[in-house]
Amino acid sequence: MKIVYIIEKFPSPTEYFILNEILELQRRGIKLDIIVLRKQKQFFDIPALKELKCSLFYLPKIYLYLPFLIFFNEPIAFIKSLALLFNDIRKQSLKTFRDYCISIYFASKLEKNQKFHFHAHFAFLAVDIASLLSKINKTKYSLTMHAQDIYTNEAKLIQVISDCSFLITCTEYNKKYLNEITFHKFENKIHRIYHGIDTSNWICKKTKPLENSLTKILCIARLVEKKGLVYLLEAMHKLINEGLNIQCTIIGEGTLKEKLVHYITDNGLERNIVLLDFQPQDIVKHILLKSDIFVLPSIIAENGDRDGLPNVIVEAMTLGIPVISTGISAIPEMIENRHTGLLVKDKDANAIVNAVKELISDENLYSSIVENAKKKIKSELEIQHCTDHLINVYENNIQVY
């Protein structure tokens, strides 16, 4: 049985983990197709895309807004599938009708007389399409849940968890939460698999003494509330005012960009703090390797949104850059305080200040964190190990129908 991945936005510089997962499954000989709901041409220069050998099906943008036009392109498939799903459609909203049309479009593009297992990433639009395609194909679907789709989406989650064949999530924290909101009724369905990293592609940097030299601090994050970047800027401001030689780079895009820029300019920090838009992964690696400390001061947003286990933390740890972060969500699964990184209180700029100063002044702590972090990533998040686990879940759940 062929697996079809359903992804809302592809390719995406903030979701390299999905591309890495697909490429590793492909190397293992797993047959895949990919359905993409929102084509992101601006990121087609990602080098790893050249390694993809599976079929990619992109939804024409017009069908997101005028879905009924699918009838004119695929009239037979439209009528056939619509008849199959008629009872469901008449009970649902216009948004659901759009989803049915989109599903009919993709069903007509997939190989005829082939059974597929549909797997969605994120419990938003992608899982709705996976559910409908599984009905048309008379098979089943599964999904991987991450962070925003879990903590801002509870009403939908319970229905999806009940309906799907199985689900994967990327942290123990997420797994525990999903079991709690479903009263542990679906424990056998819910699997924790970390996003793997190919450590052979991430060459470690050599540590250097920080005291009395320029300290380069890096943060890579979407510029949104849950990343806590306001507290990072406050901490950098305090460190600079204390006379420390600090250079801070923040890489990312998002709704808070204007607010962050105003803070930097209003406080005359342009020479010390640089904001960059999203960068290709090879550029990110280069900047990481030139950095001394990675800081991600995650918080829980007002709407409940929070990080899972940010991949940038894993990448920094793999490269030998000590991480300062908070105890939010699954971050402590990788960052053990004073062992594999430093954990600070969330929403506390002074705590970030103290952690940075400690890493600068304590070379032994700095070095031990670097070595312990690399060992932890190697033992728990090596991509080959994570992919073994993923394939095992697929084999145990897909072969039964």
Among 73-77, 159-163, 277-281, 307-311, the least confident range: 73-77
Mean pLDDT of 130-154: 92
For residues 61 and 10, state if they share a domain.
Answer: yes
Using CA atoms, how far residue 38 sits from 7, 21, 42, in Å, is 8, 19, 12
Helix locations, 254-348, DSSP H:
257-266, 281-289, 311-319
For residues 173 and 248, state if they share a domain.
Answer: no
Torsion of CA 9, 10, 15, 21, to 10 degrees: 130
Contact 333, 315 (CB under 8 A): no
For residues 97 and 230, state if they share a domain.
Answer: no
For residues 214 and 188, state if they share a domain.
Answer: no
Distance CA 232, CA 250 (A): 10
| Residue % of the chain over a pLDDT of 90 | 78
The pTM (predicted TM-score) of the whole model is 0.90
For residues 126 and 231, state if they share a domain.
Answer: no
pLDDT of the residue at 85: 61
For residues 120 and 232, state if they share a domain.
Answer: no
Distance CA 349, CA 175 (A): 30
> Confidence class of residue 96 from pLDDT cuts 50, 70 and 90?
confident
Contact 312, 242 (CB under 8 A): no
Using CA atoms, how far residue 74 sits from 77, 109, 242, 301, 374, in Å, is 5, 10, 67, 43, 52
Mean pLDDT of 188-204: 92
Distance CA 390, CA 401 (A): 18
For residues 260 and 372, state if they share a domain.
Answer: yes
For residues 347 and 47, which has the higher predicted lDDT (pLDDT)? 347
> Confidence class of residue 98 from pLDDT cuts 50, 70 and 90?
confident
Q: pLDDT, tens digit, for every residue of 108-131?
A: 899 988 899 999 999 999 999 999
Contact 335, 313 (CB under 8 A): yes
* 92 has a pLDDT exceeding 80: no
CATH of the domain at 224: 3.40.50.2000
In the chain, the number of structural domains is 2
pLDDT of the residue at 153: 83
pLDDT of the residue at 65: 85
Domain that holds residue 156: 2-196+382-398
* 271 has a pLDDT exceeding 80: yes
Q: Which of 202, 244, 224, 34 is nearest to 121 (CA)?
A: 34
Mean pLDDT of 351-367: 96
Q: pLDDT, tens digit, for every residue of 345-356?
A: 999 999 999 999
For residues 323 and 225, state if they share a domain.
Answer: yes
> Confidence class of residue 207 from pLDDT cuts 50, 70 and 90?
low
Mean pLDDT of 214-223: 96
For residues 82 and 43, state if they share a domain.
Answer: yes
- Strand runs labelled E in 252-399: 273-276, 293-296, 323-326, 342-344
Partners of 191 in the β-ladder:
168
Mean of the per-residue pLDDT values of the chain: 92
For residues 211 and 306, state if they share a domain.
Answer: yes
For residues 164 and 207, state if they share a domain.
Answer: no
* 80 has a pLDDT exceeding 70: no
> Confidence class of residue 269 from pLDDT cuts 50, 70 and 90?
very high
Using CA atoms, how far residue 368 sits from 18, 67, 352, 373, in Å, is 31, 57, 19, 8
